[in-house]
Structure formats: C-alpha cells, structure tokens
Amino acid sequence: MDYKVVLSEDFLADLQEIVESLIERADSEPAFRIGNELLDRAVEIGQSPFIGQIVPARTRVRKVLRYRYQIYYDVNQD
C-alpha cells in the first residue's frame, strides 16, 4: 500500500533554495536535474516509507539521502 506524501512549505522552500544556489554556482541544467531528483525521491517515500533511517533524537522522524542532501519525514499510520 502506498502512503500519501505531503510536501511541506519548508521542503518546497528548501528545494527552491537548493536549485537557485546550484544555478548560481553551475549551470541550470544540472541544477534542475538535481532538484527534480530530490523531488522524485521525496515522492517515492510514499512507496516505501520505512526505508529511511530513524533519526535517533526524534524517533518518529526518518531520513533518506540523495546526493549530499537529507530529506526528513515522518510516517503517519493513522
């Protein structure tokens, strides 16, 4: 069963900041590719939500990595 993925305003703002920063340092093509891959990775969490590592200090929170970026999320089983 797939879980519904809700992207927070903070996630979207961080993603925009990452892409803009990459554009400033490199070219727009790799920046948009990386941004799309981060977005895809976040959405894929709904297919396998328990694949991420549990964050020790916050047991309800998990994280997955893509490149050097960490995507934090929680799983609501209700």
Report pLDDT for 76.
86
Report pLDDT for 69.
95
Mean pLDDT of the chain: 93
C-alpha Rg value of the chain to the nearest Å: 13
User: Given a cut of 90, is residue 37 above it in pLDDT?
Assistant: yes
Chain Cα centroid distance, residue 15: 8
Mean pLDDT across 37-65: 93
Q: Which helix (H) or strand (E) holds 72?
A: strand 69-74
Long-range contact pairs involving 39-43 (C-beta distance under 8 Å, separation at least 24): 39/15, 41/66, 41/71, 42/5, 42/7, 42/11, 42/71, 42/73, 43/5, 43/7
